[in-house]
Amino acid sequence: MTLLPFLETPWPEARAIYEAGIATGTATFTTAAPTWQEWNQGHLPHSRLVATDAAGNVRGGPPCRRCRGGAGMGAWPK
């Protein structure tokens, strides 16, 4: 895993993880994933990191694994 600054480039992958959480109906009160511009404006500019694997794919953490019901997109490797 590599931690990188969270900029606009990985947003489509991160948004897909966000949407997977929304789809569970238990991860958030939000009903739709924001656009990058909305997310960017709604979060402080510091401490934004994204985890990527060796191929540069965005990876989520344990909350995402719970949303997806196990291993899958965004799950930490075991």
Domain ranges of the chain: 2-68
Residue with tokens 């953490």: 61
pLDDT of residue 62: 44
**pLDDT band for position 77 (cuts 50, 70, 90):** very low
Ranking 2-6, 26-30, 71-75 by mean pLDDT, the lowest is 71-75
17-40 as b/e: b if 16+ CB within 10 A: bbebbbeeeeeeeeeebeebeebe
